[in-house]
Chains A and B, each alone.
Chain A
Amino acid sequence: MTREDFTIGWRTLVQDPLYSLVVVLGLAIGFGTCLLLLGFVRYSWQYNAHVPHVEQVYVLKQRDNRQPTAPWFDQVPLLLHATALKAPGVDSAAAWLPTRPQQLTARIKGHLYRHDSLTVTPEFARTLGLAAVRGDLDATLRLPDSFAITEAGALAAFGSADVIGRTIEVDGQSVRVGAVVRTPPANTTIPFETLFGPNSNLSPPEIRDELVTGSRGWWGRMLIRVKPGASIEAIRTTLQEAVDHAAVLQKMPAVTRARLGGRKVMDVALVPLGEAYFDRDLAANNLARPGPRGDRAVVAGLGAIALLILALAAINYVNLATARVVRRQREIAMRKVLGASPRQISMQFIAEALVVALLATGLGLLLAWLALPLFATLVERDLGGMLSLSNVGAALALGLLLGLASAVNPVWTALRVAPHGALSGRQDSESVRAGQVRKLMTVLQIGAAMGLACVTLAITWQTRHALARAPGFDPAPLLIVDMEGGTNPKHSAAARGLIAALKANGAVAGVTVSEDAVGRHDAAWSRELRRPGVADVRVEMKSVSANFFEQYGIKPVAGRLFDPRIDADEATEPLVVNAVAARQLGFAAPAAAIGQTVVFTNFDDTVVYKRIVGVAPELRFHSLREAPAAIGYELWIAGSTLTVKAAHSLPETEAAVRALWPRWFPDSVLTMHHATDVLAADYAEDRRLARLMAIATGIALAIAAFGTYALAADAVQGRAREIVLRKLYGARKRDIGLLMLREFGALTLAGAVIGLPVGALVGERYLSSFVERAPFGYWNVALAFGASACMALVAIAHHAWGAMRMAPAEALRG
């Protein structure tokens, strides 16, 4: 390739600005969309990639077989820390706990700073490859009154990164900054802003002791860094044996031991830290939530869609460029006549394609940069680092590859130009084969847009159905208020004071206490209930206050529900179940369960009797991906979740809560949600996916529309004489219109044959994860076809109308 080739390429673009604008802009939009989607994909695939030699770091997880559902947790008994440090093949092992359950609230000069904080063993820095940018991290983590903070945390808390020696107050205690560390990227499964050592004054003595000894069998999170070549299975076996032989973990009720059968108390597993983001099979508990997790198939699918969008945009460019080559046959022939070799002809058109591709890449990067904030909001991810130097370099490389790939068809067409024929004016239209290739590419565009539309409709329809599904109560007037650190009205005067103050406020209709909000799963736990003659039934337990059902406006299916006029808040005997539980407990009808007694065995082997006082209707504790489970309600006010019911308007009640909160919890940040938002959180990923798919579908449809429009233009031009002759022989306007419709209808149908089965299959795969599906049958397929057919109709309308109105005399002259 010579400089002249690029100069010609540039001049060719400049001489036809409209064509250039259409081509470059179309390709740029495809590129920008592709870059954004690939950026999201890369962000997802690169969780924890910032950790040095991340391939040597593993997360410890365990399946707790003592629990009826045997869930997996990314938390393990802290006694494994000492075992891991001594295990052959382990370079370092770190254990940590949240400094406070969920988040830590500190006071800094009068304002509250709530953030992720971890209390860690000294090996944490080495295991994660952390280094201090200021201060001494090792010393800081050994001192009881020091902590480390990230650069971002320092800026947020103090407005500066130069913060060594600055102090914060937590629960009345003052601690000072001893070190500043680099801020981990947003795509990490171990987010933190502050780190405290195991000797920290903020930790209760038993927590400090447990981090060191693990003697109580309490859980925490752990990572190990293995030495190169170490056997992971050998390390896992060592840890498993430690769990199997730990006396503290073998204590359990006899009934639980019996249920275990021959299974181990816990199954220990090691997951590479680089894959932790895709490890979705993790439960939450009061200690910690797993955090955002991704679906590998969905992320890979988005990557494929990104490349598909780019390919669709490239198809438009290839079609237009090839059509241009056909119109430049004389020039190509002349170059051949003057001695240009096939290689030189090829280089010229490759250079032109590269000029377009690189311009489009640059413009695409600009469009991606402009759209990034909105896109990040849509996908609810911090994508600020997406346009890094390496990613921009990768985009330019992709642009180069795209340029080379796009040049193939134009070069092939140019090489096939026969000089003699072209210069004598015999070869002024594209060959039949070339025309068929262009039509095939347009069919692929239409098919791809249809397939995407089909999948998008399935996801959107199902998500809307799920969100609209009645949860069993009216969430509109309800606010969910979470009290920090396990604070609850049973043990906290402040909590009782807040509740009393809220109840006395005219904007509040009532306040109820529960362990967790309806629709959230941070504190899910189960019991096995027994009745004579019936197999043990696993029942998911919900601990609530006596006025729970009243405040939620729930009426019984049979018997009665908890009633504050009858039941004391801590009464142990009354039990309310749902219909699923009643059926599984062997009752033929809900009414038959009323007054019956069920039994379970506590962790301390004491037997507890519960009497069923009522059967409640189904409440949507779980998403539509899970079958309704057996639910049992018991009375207990040691929960940290308040449900505040609005007396009049929700904003008024919100304002009342905001006003009262600081009086009772001056050192705690208010966490408040609308109940509707809590219910919707189960489908946050589905909504995100629906938004992404809608964007991709919209762009694919636009690209297909443009491709169809260009093809229609060429079709009319190529068939101008035929159309004229038909008119000469009596064809009416509508006959010509039908001619166009038939041609493009066939292309649309061909696209449907390609795209719809794939779209239907992928949509079905998505829907298969739901137990309850929206009743739309195959309407998504029909609507996708309809939308694409309308798109094709609109795209050909202009040129079809031109063909219908074509004046025979003019066409025959020209």
Chain B
Amino acid sequence: MLKLVNVTKTYHGGDVRTRALDGINLQIEAGEYLAITGPSGCGKSTLLAMLGLLDTPDSGEYWIDGQQVSRLGEAHLNRLRRGRIGFIFQNFNLIEALSVQENVELALQYMDVTVAERRRRAVAMLEKLGVAHRARHRPSQLSGGQQQRVAIARAMVPNPAVLLADEPTGNLDTARGEEVMRLLRQINGEGTTIVMVTHSPAHAAQASRTVRLLDGRVVVDALHAA
């Protein structure tokens, strides 16, 4: 369902040019759980941004469900991304000005969902993830693990087809990290495609497939044994 064909991305900083992605070819099927690994600066986050329609390739093609999206404008990409792709980040990126529940509702605010429906779905998702009792709190009042669960709730409340996770356990201790990984397995088990960037081999092993990048190129693309 997600297909990158010979995708290249170069960043320009003054006189310096950095080729972040160099001829990436990658196909991700619906329902897959893909881990992306590699050393710092190899292009993992860039690849994730490309998959999440946050950035566009300089050359090559990006297909989503048979639609070529690599040359679309920002407004079009917004519409495509809305409700279809969810994101979770290493540093959670919750909005302090909003309560926990409002952070989750935010994901539905830009879609055609009534206020009442927004509230209902947010509450349901928070209950599912076990943080409904913190609905009225501000993010800074929660532990790291709780914040990441709220972030996951926000990402999942629109029922996206794809969840992109950028080092979701990077700021958590081992126990909380395992909780998050369990949640991701559960989400994948319910049919959501997950693409996860991680430095942890142990966490990468929990995916069904690993892609390893080096200097912007795919050097390993291996399915894990069932």
Contacts and interface: CB of A to CB of B under 8 A. Distances in A.
A binds B: yes
Interface in A335-368: 335-342, 344
A15 B107 contact: no
A692 to B, nearest CB: 42
A778 to B, nearest CB: 46
Interface string B157-191: 00000000010000000000000000000000000
Interface in A401-455: 419-420, 423-425
Given A337-B81, A338-B107, A339-B82, A15 B93 contact: no
B45 A339 contact: no
A12 B97 contact: yes
Given A337-B52, A341-B75, A342-B75, A331 B95 contact: yes
A208 B81 CA distance: 90
A15 B97 contact: yes
Contact of B97 (A331, A337, A419): A331
A139 interface: no
A81 interface: no
Interface residues of A, number: 23
A334 interface: yes
Given A335-B106, A420-B49, A420-B54, A8 B98 contact: yes
Contact of A8 (B54, B74, B97, B107): B97
Contacts of A12: 97
A142 to B, nearest CB: 71
Contacts of B87: 337
A331 B111 CA distance: 18
Given A337-B87, A339-B81, A419 B95 contact: no
B96 interface: yes
Interface in B12-33: none
A342 B91 CA distance: 24
B74 A342 contact: yes
Given A337-B81, A339-B110, A340-B110, A11 B97 contact: yes
Contact of A15 (B52, B75, B81, B96): B96
A423 B166 CA distance: 10
Contacts of A335: 106, 110
B111 A339 contact: yes
A810 interface: no
Interface string B105-148: 01101110000000000000000000000000000000000000
B162 to A, nearest CB: 13
Interface string B45-67: 11001001011000000000000
Contact of A338 (B55, B74, B91, B110): B110
Interface string B71-113: 0001100110111000101010101111000000011011100
Contacts of B78: 336, 339-341
Contacts of A425: 91
A333 B166 CA distance: 15
Contacts of B106: 334-335, 338
Contacts of A333: 93
A66 interface: no
Contacts of A419: 49, 54
Contacts of A339: 78-79, 81-83, 107, 110-111
A511 B167 CA distance: 100
Contacts of B107: 338-339
Contacts of A344: 110
Nearest to A5: B109
Given A340-B78, A341-B78, A334 B93 contact: yes
Contacts of B96: 15, 331
A107 interface: no
A4 interface: yes
A425 to B, nearest CB: 8
A30 B8 CA distance: 53
A457 B180 CA distance: 69
Nearest to B109: A4
A12 B102 CA distance: 14
Nearest to A11: B97
B219 to A, nearest CB: 22
Contacts of A15: 96-97
A419 B49 CA distance: 9
A645 interface: no
A460 to B, nearest CB: 48
Nearest to A424: B45
A337 B111 CA distance: 13
A339 B89 CA distance: 16
A8 B97 CA distance: 7
A538 interface: no
Given A4-B109, A338-B106, A338-B110, A423 B89 contact: yes
A429 to B, nearest CB: 14
A340 B82 CA distance: 8
Residue of A339, A344, A423 with highest tally of chain B CB at under 10 A: A339
Contacts of B46: 420
28 contacts: A4-B109, A11-B97, A15-B96, A331-B93, A333-B93, A334-B93, A334-B106, A335-B110, A336-B78, A337-B52, A337-B81, A338-B82, A338-B109, A338-B110, A339-B79, A339-B81, A339-B82, A339-B107, A340-B109, A340-B110, A342-B74, A344-B110, A419-B54, A420-B46, A420-B49, A423-B89, A424-B166, A425-B91
The 10 nearest A-B residue pairs measured at CB: A339-B82, A339-B110, A420-B49, A420-B54, A334-B93, A331-B95, A419-B54, A340-B110, A338-B107, A11-B97
Given A4-B109, A339-B83, A339-B110, 4 more contacts: A8-B98, A331-B97, A338-B106, A342-B75
